[in-house]
């Protein structure tokens, strides 16, 4: 016969086992997304920066690096990163880089190959979580990717993104117009692009305070920090800032964030 204390212990253990089982079987996020990326490009240097926040249907999740290296090519990405149906932005970019070519050719290849897997991913969210889809993906730029390298003795930048729309009960993923520099940008000017969450950063760029920034690194940090302050549920520090020039790629001092060291 069990003593009352033993019965209580069994109940506690049973409850603990039930909680542990529920926790172990709790579903992982079906879809993971990133938030804010800023790119500056001048005739001599490119600065690529990103926050570290990743979110899903369950809200703000964890921090991870959103600047990825593929040899001499780097990307910063906002919007959908991966899902449980097999979509994986970073793996798809890796495959596009592996096949070689100029930065523009790599970016075009990734964009063209992404339409079908993105359509599957967006269709799942639309059908299973329509409110989440409407808030974060419908008529939004997602994913939005900045490709950066040093090519032909100057920094090169290419932006490729998609928008998803639903018309007459049919979902469609459409590539947006490519942005290339050199190409469609003023060669002698400073070119700035903000990907993902950008409303607060864009307001900052137009302000007097922004003109007080002493460097592109400081400007990048202030822009992403403004988004983190405005959207703490989605945009998060630390902020990673990468500098690419004729000497190669290196992290701005104090701004490696959660990203790994640059591979030689």
Three-state DSSP at 90 gives helix
Q: Is the pLDDT confidence value at 1 over 90?
A: no
| Sign of the alpha-carbon torsion through 102, 111, 74, 201 | positive
The predicted pLDDT at position 62 comes to 83
The predicted pLDDT at position 27 comes to 41
Contact 57, 114 (CB under 8 A): no
Domains of the chain and CATH, by start: 30-251 (3.60.20.10)
For residue 30, CA distances in Å to 87, 124, 140, 228 come to 11, 9, 19, 24
Torsion of CA 22, 23, 28, 33, to 10 degrees: 130
- pLDDT tens column, 176-216: 999 999 988 876 678 899 999 989 998 988 887 777 778 99
The predicted pLDDT at position 60 comes to 62
233, HSE (Cβ side, Cα atoms, 13 Å) = 4
Q: Of 264, 206, 190, 195, whose CA–CA distance to 235 is shortest?
A: 195
pTM for the predicted model, two decimal places: 0.86
- For 131, counting Cβ atoms within 10 Å of its Cβ (0-12 exposed, 13-18 middle, 19+ buried), the class is exposed
Tell me what the mean pLDDT of segment 74-92 comes to: 94
The predicted pLDDT at position 187 comes to 66
The predicted pLDDT at position 23 comes to 29
Tell me what the mean pLDDT of segment 86-106 comes to: 97
């Amino acid at each position: 016969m069990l003593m009352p204390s033993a019965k209580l212990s069994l109940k506690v253990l049973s409850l603990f086992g039930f909680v542990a089982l529920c926790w172990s079987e709790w579903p992982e996020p079906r879809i993971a997304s990133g938030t804010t990326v800023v790119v500056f490009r001048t005739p001599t240097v490119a600065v690529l920066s990103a926050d570290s926040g990743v979110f899903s249907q369950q809200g703000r999740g964890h921090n991870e690096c959103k600047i990825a290296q593929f040899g001499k090519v780097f990307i910063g990405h906002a919007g959908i990163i991966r899902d449980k149906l097999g979509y994986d932005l970073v793996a798809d970019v890796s495959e596009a880089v592996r096949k070689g070519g100029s930065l523009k050719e790599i970016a075009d290849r990734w964009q063209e190959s992404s339409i079908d897997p993105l359509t599957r991913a967006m269709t799942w969210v639309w059908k299973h979580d329509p409110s989440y889809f409407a808030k974060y993906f419908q008529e939004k730029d997602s994913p939005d990717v900045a490709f950066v390298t040093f090519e032909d003795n100057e920094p090169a930048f290419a932006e490729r993104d998609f928008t998803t729309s639903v018309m007459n009960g049919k979902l469609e993923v459409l590539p947006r117009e490519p942005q290339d520099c050199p190409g469609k940008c003023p060669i002698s000017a400073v070119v700035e692009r903000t990907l993902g969450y950008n409303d607060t950063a864009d307001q900052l760029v137009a302000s007097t305070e922004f003109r007080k920034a002493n460097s592109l690194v400081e400007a990048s940090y202030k822009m992403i920090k403004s988004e983190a302050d405005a959207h703490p549920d989605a945009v998060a520090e630390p902020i990673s800032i990468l500098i690419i020039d004729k000497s190669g790629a290196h992290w701005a001092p104090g701004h490696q964030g959660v990203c790994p060291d640059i591979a030689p």
